């Protein structure tokens, strides 16, 4: 079972790190994360779970 939890979309450059750090917008992982359609992947991921059985993921 998969329960979608509404979480605010935090862009990688606005992600808060310990000690008031910040990710660089030029970081290759930040750039790659901005190119991925995360909601599209989540929609496909949800289809792998049963709606009636199992513990919530």
The rounded distance, in Å, linking the Cα atoms of 16 and 37 is 21
| Each residue's pLDDT tens digit, 36-57 | 888 888 888 888 887 777 777 6
Hey, where are the domains in the chain?
Answer: 23-47
Q: pLDDT for 6-34, tens place per residue?
A: 766 767 666 777 777 777 888 898 889 88
What pLDDT shows up at residue 52? 77
Cα-to-chain-centroid distance, residue 16: 15
Per-position DSSP letters for the chain, written without gaps between them: -----------GGG-EEGGGEE--TT-HHHHHHHHS-HHHHHHHHHTTS-SSSS---
For 35, residues 6+ apart whose C-beta sits below 8 A from its C-beta are none
């Amino acid at each position: 079972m998969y329960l979608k939890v509404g979480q605010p979309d935090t862009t990688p450059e606005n992600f808060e790190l310990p000690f008031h750090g910040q990710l660089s917008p030029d970081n290759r992982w930040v750039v790659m994360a901005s190119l991925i359609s995360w909601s599209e992947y989540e929609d496909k991921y949800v289809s792998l779970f049963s709606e009636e059985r199992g513990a919530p993921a």
